[in-house]
Amino acid sequence: MNTALFRGVSFLSKCFTASGYFWLYTLKGLIVYGVLPAACMLTAVLADLKQEGDADVALASKGYYRKYQGVQSSSLVLSLIFVCLFSGLYWFSYHEGGNSLFFLIIVLYLLGLTLVITVYLTHFIVFGEMQLKQALAFSFVYCIKKWQYSLLLLASISSLYLISRDNLIVCIFILPFLLALSSRWILEKARLPLQAPFS
């Protein structure tokens, strides 16, 4: 019993550490360039921890961040899309007009779609080891094809955001690894193909 408890505590502490490295590498990439490589790094490190609990988080984080630095340009594009959508969300939330509710719904839909596609993209890059273009194409197709799992992902992201938005410590150390673990669990249930057909 004590061994199982120790393993659980050790796993959780390594997850907290991996979340810390996620923020560190996100900041190292000046946020806009670092979000996607850091998300891929966190997903890969947590997969290693799940398979072999004694993985060195610091060493693995550094190695995986270097491995996924090639997706920095996509990270910039995704970050700009998020900034534009959040700006539109803010604008249409406070703007008084006849069509503002219609545009607010469209912006919310696009924001949710972009979030879910980003999660799929991370999954295909890490576990499918696909090239960026293939991973993006697969992400878009399966985001719509597996819409039930996409809705489940969106519900997971929303609930984790609501839980952590009033607590900075939870947001920094718990939110990243919980989001990565729940996303992986949902996408494993979706049974996504991890091999690109033309590779």
CB 45 within 8 A of CB 18: yes
Residues 31-54 have pLDDT tens digits of: 788 899 999 999 999 998 888 767
Residues 65-102 have pLDDT tens digits of: 999 988 888 888 998 999 999 888 888 777 776 677 78
Say yes or no to pLDDT of 166 above 80: no
CB 93 within 8 A of CB 107: no
pTM, entire model: 0.89
CB 16 within 8 A of CB 61: no
pLDDT at 53: 66
pLDDT at 30: 80
pLDDT at 2: 66
CB 61 within 8 A of CB 41: yes
- The pair of structure tokens assigned to 108 is 């919310």
pLDDT at 92: 79
Q: For the chain, what percent of residues have pLDDT higher than 70? A: 94
Say yes or no to pLDDT of 158 above 80: yes
pLDDT at 81: 92
pLDDT at 195: 62
Torsion-angle region of 163 (φ positive above 0: left; ψ -120 to 50: alpha; else: beta): alpha
